């Protein structure tokens, strides 16, 4: 990160059923500001006055630490209502993915086919693992491609939808030129 506290914090994931999901926040959103609504009442005698004030803490173009500080510390313990100003950086298209376990690795009665939905641009390995897909194969201690023990993925269709291969991945994939 940068040393000057500037940057951008992008929501990577939301907890299913959590407050962020209920509020409509999706991966790819950025938190621009935190607004706290506070009301106070006062007056003298028979006259009662209720007043509502708001405080705003901007966190647009702030790094991760400053954004988290605004979320955690700015509202205070007495905040009645907290609002987040969200900027939708870009709406990622969704990609439907069919995952098939090798039938030889499945127990009887287990459906080896899973239908999943990913956001375009998601890290494939992490996206599979986050959705409960088991990638390790006890019968094969090392991956043919990169030597890892947890990345057994073959892409049969849709290769062009994947992100370009990076330098490190390209070096690892040289071990198997058939891919």
Q: What is the pTM of this model?
A: 0.42
Quote the pLDDT of residue 15: 92
Q: What is the pLDDT of residue 148?
A: 64
DSSP-derived letter for residue 10 is B
∠ CA 104-105-111, rounded to 5°: 95
Write out residues in the chain with pLDDT < 50, as ranges. 145
What does the block give as tokens for 121?
């641009």
Say how many Å lie between the first and final Cα of the chain, rounded: 35
The encoded tokens of residue 169 equal 């991945």
Q: Rg of the chain's alpha carbons, rounded to an integer?
A: 24
Reduced to 3 states, what is the DSSP secondary structure of residue 62? strand
Instruction: Give the per-residue pLDDT at 34.
Output: 85
Q: Which two tokens stand for residue 99?
A: 């995952």
pLDDT at 90: 66
pLDDT reported for residue 152: 57
Q: Tokens 């892409």 label which residue?
A: 155
């Amino acid at each position: 990160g940068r040393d000057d506290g500037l940057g951008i914090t992008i929501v990577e994931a939301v907890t299913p059923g959590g407050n962020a999901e209920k509020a409509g926040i999706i991966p790819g959103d950025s938190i621009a500001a935190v607004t706290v609504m506070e009301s106070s009442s006062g007056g003298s005698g028979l006259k009662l006055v209720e007043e509502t004030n708001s405080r705003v803490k901007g966190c647009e173009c702030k790094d991760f630490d400053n954004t988290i500080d605004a979320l955690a510390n700015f509202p205070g313990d007495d905040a009645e209502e907290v609002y987040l100003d969200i900027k939708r950086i870009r709406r990622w298209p969704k990609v439907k993915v069919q995952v098939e376990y090798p039938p030889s690795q499945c127990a009887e009665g287990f459906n080896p086919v899973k239908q999943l939905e990913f956001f375009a641009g998601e890290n494939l390995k992490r996206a599979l693992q986050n959705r409960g897909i088991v990638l390790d194969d006890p019968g094969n201690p090392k991956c043919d491609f990169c030597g890892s023990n947890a990345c057994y993925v073959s892409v049969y269709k849709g290769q062009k939808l994947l992100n370009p291969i990076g330098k490190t991945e390209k070096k690892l994939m040289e071990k198997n030129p058939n891919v």
